[in-house]
Structure 1
Amino acid sequence: MTDYIEQDASRTVEFPMSETIASSKRPARPTVLATIGAFATRALLRIKHVPEQMFDVTLFPVIFLLMFTYLFGGAIAGSTAEYLQFLLPGILVMTVSQITMYTGIDLNNDIRKGIFDRFRTLPIWLPAALIGALLVDVIRYSIASIIMIGLGLLLGFRPEGGFIGVLGALVLILIFSFSLSWIWTALGLIVRSEKSLMMLSFLVMMPLTFISNVFVDPSTLPSWLQGFVSINPISILATAVRGFMHGTVTAEQIIWVLVVSVILTAIFAPFTMYLYRNKE
């Protein structure tokens, strides 16, 4: 290799060019699992340093359950205790579904702050940034579910399906919520602000939640509305969750939830990654 010559007023020094280059090896490229773990840890640290973002997971579900049970239980079912058996699985589905937007909100904040561009320049598997955040959201969903079920048991909720039924219901909710999160993640890459994303999620989730079987038996609704309720994804999930918790679930109910989850993931996960790679 050509020698490098350094000259000054009094001396000339010659040394090989190779000595000017670091001889140590480059760090190995991080594995996919390591990268996902790093971004998941980042999301967990964000919760640690901004704990108030957990209010939607801890406080609001409690308010919803108490308010709907004791304000509307007597009017709808004639008994708050009886209505609680019907309501809690539906409120659980509603609560977890409505907090699926947080990954999209966090991603939108990263874009506005410029962190997003830095991530795309790193020698990592690009989807890891999204998947790591989505996995932490699963933890958030689990916390909300545990709080809801714990409060329900204190109020008198008795799942006839037992522990296995409750566990099966939670697994089904987590699968569906993970697939639903891809929608808000894609929108987080499109909209200009987190307020816009929150407004869009509210406009979508509020009608889907209230025009469903979360709060009332569909048979009490007008016939023209029952058709929409029966194909509403929130209704499909709530039906299966009730079935699991009360020991009446059927294979068909489970399959429909899985089919909806696969369709949402198959459509919005690739679309999200396309937007992620081509975001300007």
Structure 2
Amino acid sequence: MATATLTAPTAPAGRVGLLAGLQHTATLTWRNLVQIKHNPMELMDLSVQPIMFLLLFTYVFGGQMSGSTHAYLQFALAGIMVQNGLFATLTTAVGLNSDIQKGVFDRLRSLPIARSAPLAGRVAADLGKQVWSMLLMLGLGLALGFRPDGVAGVVGAVALMVVFALAMSWMMVLVGMVAENAEKVQMLGFVVMFPLTFSSSAFVSVSSMPGWLQAWVKVNPVTSLVDAMRALLVGGPVQGPVVHTLLWAAAIAVVFFPLALRAYQRRS
């Protein structure tokens, strides 16, 4: 008489260690970056849009705002970089939402990797793309006549933008997790980003605005970021705006990182 053989259930894998989790994150970051080779359009949004904004703002508004395109370029490049960097965080939200809708995260979750690695890999890859976008804008700005105060200031401005974009990415991750589809992600993202970027010191002097609007602009975290980057790039008081920007970045991350992580764990 044949006897049935019972196979003991496989024990669940233990928790992934910190070093292994970092290795998984690095691998998935590279995976997201390598996709650009097969789908160059992923980088086009972060290449064409900044060039278009820089040229339009400089040559359409420059003469009216500052009397010359060169003077306005010196003033506005920091603001255009900030606007582009913050809007680029929407790509993180859209990409995460799309991956979840397509079941990519379900396939990744079946692998013996850290559960946070797909999320961290996406955010890290998008920050890398942002650095490319900022360097592209700085290169074009130099070609158009922009003159920074020094190399150290340029490096500091790029680093500060990356730190703030990382904090804002968690807000966008939350948007990507709670929105039903990519279209709603973009709608919610624009509702957040447009008021923050345009009601700031990015494109015009705060003193030219109505008094009631100035009260908001002065406490807007984007104003602190723009003022800090402008000071690093072309000179001016640095310490106050940089400290305020870092405090805002820390506050945004403290609020939205746990909310984004909880929403991610529920969706994935």
**Cα distance in 1 for residues equivalent to 2:35 and 2:237:** 38
**Cα distance in 1 for residues equivalent to 2:111 and 2:36:** 24
Q: For residue 5 of structure 1, report the CA deviation from its aligned partner.
A: 6.4
1:187 aligns with 2:175: yes
**Cα distance in 2 for residues equivalent to 1:47 and 1:194:** 20
Q: Retained in 2: the 8 A contact 1:184–1:201?
A: yes
What's the TM-score once normalised by structure 2's chain length? 0.91
User: Equivalent residues in 2 for 1:10-89 (5 A)?
Assistant: 31-89=20-78
1:235 corresponds in structure 2 to 223
Larger Rg: 1
Structure 1 gaps of 5+ residues are 7-16
Q: Deviations over 1:186-222 (max 9, x none)?
A: 1111111111101111121112111111110001111
**Cα distance in 2 for residues equivalent to 1:78 and 1:168:** 29
The one-letter amino acid paired with 1:108 is N
Q: Retained in 1: the 8 A contact 2:175–2:189?
A: no
User: Equivalent residues in 2 for 1:123-272 (5 A)?
Assistant: 123-160=112-149, 162-272=150-260
Q: Secondary structure at the match of 1:159?
A: coil
Q: Retained in 2: the 8 A contact 1:40–1:135?
A: yes
**Cα RMSD between the aligned structures?**
2.4
Match of 2:98 among 91, 103, 109: 109
The size of the alignment, in residue pairs, is: 262
Q: For residue 48 of structure 1, report the CA deviation from its aligned partner.
A: 2.2
Q: Retained in 2: the 8 A contact 1:242–1:249?
A: no
**Cα distance in 1 for residues equivalent to 2:51 and 2:225:** 21
2:109 corresponds in structure 1 to 120
**Cα distance in 2 for residues equivalent to 1:39 and 1:67:** 36
The one-letter amino acid paired with 1:38 is T
What's the TM-score once normalised by structure 1's chain length? 0.87
Q: Quote the sequence identity (%).
A: 37
Q: Deviations over 1:163-205 (max 9, x none)?
A: 0011100000000001101111111111111111011111211
Structure 2 gaps of 5+ residues are none
The one-letter amino acid paired with 1:175 is V
**Cα distance in 2 for residues equivalent to 1:145 and 1:218:** 24
Q: Which shows bigger deviation, 241-250 or 28-37?
A: 28-37
Match of 2:84 among 67, 71, 95: 95
**Cα distance in 1 for residues equivalent to 2:116 and 2:189:** 23
Q: For residue 46 of structure 1, report the CA deviation from its aligned partner.
A: 2.5
